Amino acid sequence: MAIGRKTHPDLGEMKIFSARLSRLLLLGMLLVSLYGDVASAQSAFCNGKCKVRCSKASVHDQCLKYCGLCCRMCNCVPSGTYGNKNECPCYRDIYTGVGRRRRPKCP
């Protein structure tokens, strides 16, 4: 056998590696399924709140898009179709643009 040449791992090492990989994959699938339930519950919350918030918006699709983004970041949407942003400071304080073009991002 040549010096410095690596030999193939033995069967015992392969079984240990395989068992660890299986556990990691199982844990990953479990985490994804748990996160999926939380994400779908949150999106249902946001969809309902944003539907009410954007019901009178002239550009309905855009309102729903930005309301949904803000809701996912803040986990709240102010009540009513306009104003009331003090109910949700996070939602109120998200801005887009810089300088003179700075304006609220959330409808």
Cα–Cα distance, 57 to 18 (Å, whole number):
55
Domain-wise residue ranges, the chain: 13-104
For residue 5, the one-letter residue type is R
What pLDDT score was predicted for residue 7?
62
All residues at 6 or more sequence positions from 97 whose CB lies less than 8 Å from its CB, including other chains:
103
What pLDDT score was predicted for residue 20?
79
Digitized pLDDT (tens) for each residue of the chain, 107 residues in all: 556 555 666 667 777 777 777 777 777 776 666 555 444 556 889 999 999 999 999 999 999 999 999 999 999 999 999 999 999 999 999 999 999 999 999 99
What pLDDT score was predicted for residue 64?
95
What beta strand segments (E) does 46-94 contain? Answer: none
Q: Please work out, in degrees rounded to the nearest 5, the angle formed at the alpha carbon of residue 80 by the alpha carbons of 38 and 78.
A: 45
Asked if residues 71 and 50 have their Cβ atoms less than 8 Å apart, the reply is yes
In this structure, the chain runs to a length of: 107
Tokens 């996070």 belong to 90
